[in-house]
Structure 1
Protein backbone atom coordinates (compact mmCIF):
# COMPACT_ATOMS: atom_id res chain seq x y z
CA UNK A 1 0.00 0.00 0.00
CA UNK A 2 1.23 3.50 -0.74
CA UNK A 3 0.17 6.41 1.47
CA UNK A 4 1.48 9.98 1.05
CA UNK A 5 4.46 8.72 -0.91
CA UNK A 6 5.43 6.05 1.63
CA UNK A 7 5.18 2.38 0.73
CA UNK A 8 3.81 0.41 3.67
CA UNK A 9 3.33 -3.35 3.76
CA UNK A 10 0.73 -5.13 5.89
CA UNK A 11 3.14 -5.90 8.72
CA UNK A 12 4.20 -2.22 9.00
CA UNK A 13 7.73 -2.99 7.85
CA UNK A 14 9.52 -0.42 5.80
CA UNK A 15 11.46 -2.84 3.58
CA UNK A 16 9.56 -1.89 0.42
CA UNK A 17 9.93 1.82 1.09
CA UNK A 18 13.62 1.55 1.93
CA UNK A 19 14.20 -0.28 -1.34
CA UNK A 20 12.28 2.46 -3.14
CA UNK A 21 14.32 5.21 -1.44
CA UNK A 22 17.59 3.45 -2.27
CA UNK A 23 16.52 2.96 -5.88
CA UNK A 24 15.59 6.65 -6.20
CA UNK A 25 18.82 7.86 -4.63
CA UNK A 26 20.91 5.56 -6.85
CA UNK A 27 19.09 6.86 -9.90
CA UNK A 28 19.65 10.45 -8.76
CA UNK A 29 23.38 10.11 -8.12
CA UNK A 30 23.97 8.05 -11.24
CA UNK A 31 22.31 10.77 -13.32
CA UNK A 32 24.35 13.39 -11.45
CA UNK A 33 27.63 11.47 -11.74
CA UNK A 34 29.07 13.53 -14.63
CA UNK A 35 28.41 16.76 -12.74
CA UNK A 36 29.63 15.44 -9.39
CA UNK A 37 32.88 14.21 -10.94
CA UNK A 38 33.47 17.40 -12.93
CA UNK A 39 35.64 20.34 -11.91
CA UNK A 40 32.86 22.66 -10.79
CA UNK A 41 33.23 24.29 -7.35
CA UNK A 42 32.73 22.07 -4.33
CA UNK A 43 29.95 24.30 -2.99
CA UNK A 44 27.97 23.78 -6.20
CA UNK A 45 28.37 20.02 -5.90
CA UNK A 46 27.20 20.09 -2.29
CA UNK A 47 24.19 22.20 -3.27
CA UNK A 48 23.35 19.70 -5.99
CA UNK A 49 23.66 16.86 -3.50
CA UNK A 50 21.45 18.55 -0.90
CA UNK A 51 18.80 19.64 -3.36
CA UNK A 52 18.60 16.65 -5.65
CA UNK A 53 19.96 13.53 -3.96
CA UNK A 54 19.41 14.06 -0.23
CA UNK A 55 15.88 15.31 -0.87
CA UNK A 56 15.09 11.92 -2.41
CA UNK A 57 16.60 10.05 0.53
CA UNK A 58 14.82 12.11 3.18
CA UNK A 59 11.36 12.56 1.66
CA UNK A 60 8.74 12.38 4.48
CA UNK A 61 11.11 10.84 7.06
CA UNK A 62 8.87 11.37 10.12
CA UNK A 63 6.41 8.92 8.59
CA UNK A 64 8.83 6.05 8.07
CA UNK A 65 12.34 6.48 9.52
CA UNK A 66 11.44 5.46 13.08
CA UNK A 67 10.03 2.17 11.76
CA UNK A 68 13.25 1.23 9.94
CA UNK A 69 15.57 -1.43 11.30
CA UNK A 70 19.21 -0.66 12.04
CA UNK A 71 20.35 -2.46 8.89
CA UNK A 72 17.89 -0.44 6.78
CA UNK A 73 19.18 2.79 8.32
CA UNK A 74 22.74 1.75 7.50
CA UNK A 75 21.76 1.07 3.89
CA UNK A 76 20.19 4.52 3.63
CA UNK A 77 23.29 6.14 5.17
CA UNK A 78 25.46 4.23 2.70
CA UNK A 79 23.71 6.02 -0.17
CA UNK A 80 24.76 9.36 1.28
CA UNK A 81 28.31 8.10 1.80
CA UNK A 82 28.57 7.02 -1.85
CA UNK A 83 27.40 10.41 -3.09
CA UNK A 84 29.78 12.33 -0.78
CA UNK A 85 32.69 10.13 -1.87
CA UNK A 86 31.86 10.90 -5.47
CA UNK A 87 31.73 14.65 -4.75
CA UNK A 88 35.24 14.80 -3.29
CA UNK A 89 36.73 11.98 -5.36
CA UNK A 90 37.92 10.16 -2.25
CA UNK A 91 39.39 6.69 -2.42
CA UNK A 92 38.22 3.84 -0.21
CA UNK A 93 40.85 4.48 2.45
CA UNK A 94 39.31 7.78 3.56
CA UNK A 95 36.75 7.33 6.33
CA UNK A 96 33.17 8.34 5.61
CA UNK A 97 33.05 10.33 8.85
CA UNK A 98 36.07 12.38 7.78
CA UNK A 99 34.50 13.19 4.41
CA UNK A 100 31.18 14.21 5.97
CA UNK A 101 32.88 16.30 8.66
CA UNK A 102 35.05 18.13 6.12
CA UNK A 103 32.01 18.87 3.94
CA UNK A 104 29.95 19.82 7.02
CA UNK A 105 27.22 17.34 6.08
CA UNK A 106 25.36 15.68 8.93
CA UNK A 107 24.40 12.01 8.86
CA UNK A 108 20.94 11.10 7.61
CA UNK A 109 19.82 10.36 11.17
CA UNK A 110 21.05 13.75 12.42
CA UNK A 111 19.41 15.51 9.47
CA UNK A 112 16.06 13.85 10.13
Structure 2
Protein backbone atom coordinates (compact mmCIF):
# COMPACT_ATOMS: atom_id res chain seq x y z
CA UNK A 1 0.00 0.00 0.00
CA UNK A 2 1.18 3.54 -0.72
CA UNK A 3 -0.20 7.05 -0.43
CA UNK A 4 2.15 9.75 -1.61
CA UNK A 5 2.52 12.75 -3.93
CA UNK A 6 4.22 12.99 -7.32
CA UNK A 7 6.47 15.76 -6.00
CA UNK A 8 7.90 13.31 -3.47
CA UNK A 9 9.10 10.86 -6.14
CA UNK A 10 12.51 11.29 -7.72
CA UNK A 11 12.58 11.57 -11.52
CA UNK A 12 15.00 9.29 -13.35
CA UNK A 13 16.36 10.68 -16.62
CA UNK A 14 15.58 8.54 -19.68
CA UNK A 15 19.01 7.63 -20.99
CA UNK A 16 18.36 6.97 -24.65
CA UNK A 17 20.01 8.71 -27.61
CA UNK A 18 16.56 8.98 -29.23
CA UNK A 19 15.09 10.89 -26.26
CA UNK A 20 15.56 14.53 -25.28
CA UNK A 21 14.87 16.06 -21.85
CA UNK A 22 12.62 13.21 -20.68
CA UNK A 23 12.41 11.62 -17.24
CA UNK A 24 10.26 9.03 -15.47
CA UNK A 25 8.83 8.75 -11.95
CA UNK A 26 7.63 5.31 -10.81
CA UNK A 27 4.52 5.80 -8.68
CA UNK A 28 3.01 2.35 -8.15
CA UNK A 29 4.54 -1.01 -9.05
CA UNK A 30 4.74 -4.58 -7.73
CA UNK A 31 7.06 -3.16 -5.05
CA UNK A 32 4.04 -1.29 -3.65
CA UNK A 33 1.73 -4.28 -4.16
CA UNK A 34 0.27 -3.77 -7.66
CA UNK A 35 1.16 -7.15 -9.12
CA UNK A 36 1.70 -7.21 -12.86
CA UNK A 37 1.50 -3.45 -13.58
CA UNK A 38 3.46 -0.24 -13.18
CA UNK A 39 2.10 3.32 -13.09
CA UNK A 40 4.62 5.99 -13.98
CA UNK A 41 4.68 9.71 -14.70
CA UNK A 42 6.77 10.83 -17.63
CA UNK A 43 8.02 14.40 -17.64
CA UNK A 44 9.15 15.97 -20.90
CA UNK A 45 10.83 19.39 -20.94
CA UNK A 46 10.09 22.14 -23.45
CA UNK A 47 11.25 20.92 -26.88
CA UNK A 48 11.84 17.42 -25.51
CA UNK A 49 10.54 14.01 -26.57
CA UNK A 50 10.49 10.34 -25.70
CA UNK A 51 12.07 7.75 -28.02
CA UNK A 52 10.06 6.74 -31.09
CA UNK A 53 9.56 3.01 -30.58
CA UNK A 54 7.20 0.05 -30.40
CA UNK A 55 7.05 -2.98 -28.10
CA UNK A 56 4.95 -6.12 -27.58
CA UNK A 57 2.77 -4.68 -24.78
CA UNK A 58 0.09 -1.98 -24.70
CA UNK A 59 -0.04 1.02 -22.41
CA UNK A 60 -2.52 3.59 -21.18
CA UNK A 61 -1.70 7.30 -20.94
CA UNK A 62 -3.38 10.26 -19.26
CA UNK A 63 -2.08 13.80 -19.78
CA UNK A 64 -1.62 15.67 -16.49
CA UNK A 65 -0.22 18.99 -17.69
CA UNK A 66 1.23 20.81 -20.65
CA UNK A 67 0.70 20.34 -24.37
CA UNK A 68 2.12 17.57 -26.44
CA UNK A 69 2.01 15.59 -29.63
CA UNK A 70 1.50 11.85 -29.68
CA UNK A 71 2.94 10.20 -32.77
CA UNK A 72 0.84 7.03 -32.97
CA UNK A 73 0.94 4.57 -35.83
CA UNK A 74 2.07 7.18 -38.37
CA UNK A 75 -0.30 9.95 -37.23
CA UNK A 76 0.49 13.02 -35.13
CA UNK A 77 -2.22 13.85 -32.59
CA UNK A 78 -2.22 16.95 -30.38
CA UNK A 79 -2.85 16.20 -26.68
CA UNK A 80 -3.23 18.37 -23.58
CA UNK A 81 -4.19 18.12 -19.92
CA UNK A 82 -7.21 15.83 -19.69
CA UNK A 83 -6.44 13.91 -22.90
CA UNK A 84 -5.95 10.16 -22.69
CA UNK A 85 -4.74 7.45 -25.05
CA UNK A 86 -4.54 3.69 -25.36
CA UNK A 87 -1.42 2.63 -27.27
CA UNK A 88 -1.83 -0.94 -28.61
CA UNK A 89 0.95 -3.52 -28.63
CA UNK A 90 3.44 -3.31 -31.51
CA UNK A 91 2.37 0.22 -32.47
CA UNK A 92 5.04 2.85 -33.13
CA UNK A 93 4.63 5.82 -30.80
CA UNK A 94 6.39 8.87 -29.38
CA UNK A 95 5.43 11.77 -27.12
CA UNK A 96 6.81 15.28 -27.78
CA UNK A 97 6.41 18.49 -25.82
CA UNK A 98 5.00 21.18 -28.12
CA UNK A 99 4.15 23.72 -25.42
CA UNK A 100 5.97 26.28 -23.32
CA UNK A 101 5.91 24.35 -20.04
CA UNK A 102 6.73 20.87 -18.75
CA UNK A 103 4.59 18.14 -20.36
CA UNK A 104 3.57 15.43 -17.88
CA UNK A 105 1.59 12.27 -18.42
CA UNK A 106 0.73 9.06 -16.63
CA UNK A 107 1.83 5.86 -18.37
CA UNK A 108 0.52 2.50 -17.14
CA UNK A 109 2.22 -0.61 -18.51
CA UNK A 110 2.34 -4.31 -17.70
CA UNK A 111 5.25 -5.16 -15.44
CA UNK A 112 7.30 -6.59 -18.33
CA UNK A 113 7.03 -3.21 -20.09
CA UNK A 114 8.73 -1.30 -17.30
CA UNK A 115 12.48 -0.87 -17.73
TM-score in same-fold range (> 0.5): no
TM-score by length of structure 2 reads 0.30
Q: Which has the larger helix fraction?
A: 1
Q: Name whichever structure is richer in strand by fraction.
A: 2
Larger radius of gyration: 1
Instruction: Compute the TM-score of the two structures, normalised by the length of structure 1.
Output: 0.31
